[in-house]
Amino acid sequence: MGSNVVTKGVQRVPHRALFKALGLTDEELDRPIIGVANSWNEIIPGHIHLDRLGDAVKAGVRMAGGTPLEFNTIGVCDGIAMGHEGMRSPLVSREIIADSIEVVGNAYSFDGMVFVTSCDKIEPGMVMGALRLNIPSIFITGGPMMCGLRRGKRLTLDKTFESVGAFLNGKMSENELKEVEEFSCPGAGSCAGMYTANTMACMIEALGLSLPGSGTIPAVDARRIRLAKHTGMKIMELVNRSIRPKDIITADSIRNAIAVDVTMGGSSNAILHLMAIANESGIDLDLEVFDEISRKVPQLVGMMPGGDVAVEDLDRAGGVQALMKRLREGGHINIEVITVTGKTVGENLVNAEAIGTTIRKLSDPIRPCGTLAILKGNLAPDGAVIKTAGLKMTHYAGDAVVFDCEEEGVKAASEGRIKKGQVVVIRYEGPKGGPGMREMLQLTSILVGMGLGEDVALVTDGRFSGATHGMMIGHVSPEAAVGGPIAALKDGDKITIDIEKRSIKVEISDGEIANRLSKWREPAPKYSRGAFYKYSKMVTSASTGAVLR
């Protein structure tokens, strides 16, 4: 199989003629043909430099004797999409990206593929596509943005969102707000904290799909260009040895990635994406696995936004490999799984070293358990998710104030109508009801900026950006749009959250919930045609990764 299907034999004269129309020579067509899937564009800061990475990858492929052919996938910036109708797009785009890779790969019968990618949904979408094709594949991600710096203070994307709340609350002047806007995002790369984009880049490295360093080397660092060339060279070895994504993505490698996520305070979105990746691999991955691993694995790094460590700091400290080596000391990493280096995790870790104190020792963790918790109860029978990094409380109870969309909640917060001690409920924003399961970063940031971050809780069947911190509980399942208990809530219902007991419940009887739901009617879909309509009809629960059926 492979590219011989489209390049060899008398029946392929038309195919070779079309390849020659691209400028390819007989010599190039005699070599293994490597597809280079690149999400470069001019609309996402994390992607603006991927054309250079793509060129470096192609140089590496040619140096190792292959013929690279590059094509593009779509992508959207979650930050620019945040807080309006556009936020329905990113999770939907994950499926479109996976589909597009599957379609192009199927059409061209590449011998191998290199994936040049960055940012939240693009990275897992490409992994899903790679697994569907299951030909030798390797990834290089775009790398983190550097932190901004102004008046001796570090600035990152989450500060821009939080500054809006501070301004609305009179805690920040218009000039200060403008400075935050000007200096927070200094250039190319995925936003500097351990938000979803950098979390997934680290997950891809921890899974063994990218070369060591790919998850953390800054976007502007020349080491990333060199790594891209080595990535292009390495794909030829993977082709020759027929090492495929499904050889690398196993139940053990996924558990390794979860351990890395919970030890550094990664985004809760990693749950959705790792479950989707597992689904493409035919691996059963239950929500409880995340909780089980998080109970055992200590938090060793205080990454932004829950802490003050930027991804550039983690890179200087030894990166993902150093973190995995430290976890290995506690038996939290399976070292036998194969990676794209052609070696096992254990072999990769031989020369890894934790430099300085950014990565804590197992004997001196930030906290003895990891940073994800799966909550269940009569409000979320199938589960809900909270990221506990930086969380200052483990128990909360308050009266619900209920909104049927994100915009209503943002309006109420901006007008000062949300008070201390309340539980803000945003529903009908799940995978089906959204559709697309919008992130609530604008709302959570306004609350934090107004000084309410530790004084209110937020509960939603939508989800949160990796830049969110505090008592923010998402992925409530079943969602409101399918008649989950969250659809039965009314203003004033008392909600109790207990992180230690992994519990989230509303203080009303099962009979009252059933009575309210008996009067509930499924809302009309927000879209009647097109991609969002199809998505709303096919998407499953957040508790299963919001995959399509």
Q: What is the pLDDT of residue 392?
A: 87
Q: Is 13 exposed, middle or buried (0-12, 13-18, 19+ CB in 10 A)?
A: exposed
Q: What is the pLDDT of residue 122?
A: 98
Element housing 386 (H / E): strand 380-387
pLDDT beyond 90 at 446: no
pLDDT tens digits for range 304-335: 988 999 999 999 999 999 999 999 999 999 99
Q: What is the pLDDT of residue 165?
A: 83
Q: What is the pLDDT of residue 73?
A: 97
Q: Which has the closest alpha carbon to 32: 251, 238, 231? A: 238
pLDDT tens digits for range 426-438: 999 999 999 999 9
**Cα separation of 132 and 154, whole Å?**
41
The alpha carbon of 451 is separated from its chain's Cα centroid by a whole number of angstroms, namely: 27
pLDDT tens digits for range 173-185: 999 999 999 999 9
Q: What is the pLDDT of residue 303?
A: 95
Confidence band for 94, pLDDT divided at 50, 70 and 90: very high
Assigned token pair, 233: 């060279």
**Cα separation of 279 and 275, whole Å?**
6
Confidence band for 503, pLDDT divided at 50, 70 and 90: very high
- Tell me the residue type at 369: C
Q: Please tell me the least confidently modeled range out of 128-137, 410-419, 425-434.
A: 410-419
Average pLDDT value for residue range 528-536: 96
Whole-angstrom CA distances from 85 to 197, 411, 523 are: 21, 15, 18
- Catalytically active residues are 465
Confidence band for 159, pLDDT divided at 50, 70 and 90: confident
Q: What is the pLDDT of residue 452?
A: 86
Is residue 419 within 8 A of residue 399, CB to CB? The reply is: no
pLDDT tens digits for range 16-41: 999 999 999 999 999 999 999 999 99
Q: What is the pLDDT of residue 166?
A: 87
Q: What is the pLDDT of residue 169?
A: 83
> How many other C-beta atoms can be found within 10 angstroms of the C-beta atom of residue 9?
11
pLDDT tens digits for range 348-394: 999 999 999 999 999 999 999 999 999 999 999 999 999 999 888 89
Helical H segments across 331-422, by residue range:
345-348, 406-414
pLDDT tens digits for range 245-295: 999 999 999 999 999 999 999 999 999 999 999 999 999 999 999 999 999
pLDDT beyond 80 at 456: yes
Q: What is the pLDDT of residue 199?
A: 97
Confidence band for 158, pLDDT divided at 50, 70 and 90: confident
Confidence band for 442, pLDDT divided at 50, 70 and 90: confident
pLDDT beyond 80 at 466: no
Confidence band for 448, pLDDT divided at 50, 70 and 90: confident
Residue 539, φ and ψ in degrees, nearest 5: -75, 145
pLDDT tens digits for range 98-131: 999 999 999 999 999 999 999 999 999 999 999 9
Q: Is 177 exposed, middle or buried (0-12, 13-18, 19+ CB in 10 A)?
A: middle
Confidence band for 194, pLDDT divided at 50, 70 and 90: very high
**Cα separation of 20 and 228, whole Å?**
27
How high does pLDDT run on average in the chain? 96
Confidence band for 441, pLDDT divided at 50, 70 and 90: confident
Q: Which has the closest alpha carbon to 488: 395, 384, 400? A: 400
CA angle 147, 153, 156 (to 5 degrees): 35
- Cis amide linkage into residue 245, ω under 30° from 0: no
